[in-house]
Structure 1
């Protein structure tokens, strides 16, 4: 698909943006290729405002054996609700709505900044890299050794970045089973967004991510405060729980509470459980 013109929004408030995404007339510009489910690039126009967005209809989802309840679109919206509850704004505005191909998720399109070669010209991206050194080097966190062909290995690393560290906490909370490099979008101003949260909130441990660099380390003071607020927001009867009840199952909400409680108790980033592949494949 050739890159269509992308229309940036004016400085809309969160409420205005949600209204445009939820009620705007969707016009399909094209299909995002190489996605396992139907992903449509659209504009949403409402009362003179227009934004570019992604529309993922439920009808275009491929069934998954390990996610029998609900659907991927609702999980994406639930992930956005949790992201908003943290106050970190790590996921672009996301709504559930009807569209040209039925109910689906509609999310603000984010234009990622181009990846560069890093300050040393060594081919590193701002977020992820493969290095031949045994140690990650200053400003990077080690993830795992990776085979790169011809019997050689390289060290997979990610940036030691506050935004990525917040994302690692969010992924642990929502039980993200697919945090790949391509699901991390560096935006202007150093901000990082996460996308593609369809395989989240499973009641069993499904955490698979490239952001294991802080595994076992203490949570930051900021993250501890966020986890405490999440625990308060997940008490039965709160507005957040009511909203989540429209999107995921009661068992998944209870498991969500359990993960938040476990983070509060340990005060540390989780480590791979060993019961599930820790890194998604392909990693990009």
Structure 2
């Protein structure tokens, strides 16, 4: 059974002055999935997240079909269930871990059935180290712990769609593995995720569906497992492949993977 569509864009365009940064993007995120967008620096990945969050003016269509009403402002989108963890993490460094977390649930105050205390304990169950450091200020945490805190603060708002911008940025490989595993665990707890990640290998390993973005356009999409096997993705983002036999026609372009969609197909 196909999962319900949670969010989608159609012909999404964003301009910085006269320069168009996104060129008619159409993506789809389904409930209960991790969808990843991989691409080089400057491809437009963060611009996509900012447009979805309502932080940038855009043309085209952004829709949240499973939400009760259209959410136009940033505040409305947050209350409707959209949450962004930016690359910078934007923590309050001089405040204790617990206070940072409680601020994450501020938008849900007064909602029937919402308990900040219960949400706090759920975050601590996911990230036990945050419970151990609940009285420490955020600026005393390690890089991995700060990323856990950023994730935990977002989860306090009970998001329907959690958007993550480069969660492994600046982290050691072992810590990156831990954070990516935590992201996969969030899906198991019913959180749908849009993951922007330069570590394409790690992102594709946990994602259900993937988009490859180059200079503001979607060049390739499909099931993450199939995208990870595509020769173009292997060569550009996953490291060198083993040598293939020489093609009979040196100018022939590689054939698209049968399960993938390329731009214009």
Q: TM-score, with normalisation over the residues of structure 1?
A: 0.30
More helix by share: 2
Bigger relative contact order, structure 1 or 2 (CA pairs below 8 A, ≥6 apart)? 2
Q: TM-score, with normalisation over the residues of structure 2?
A: 0.31
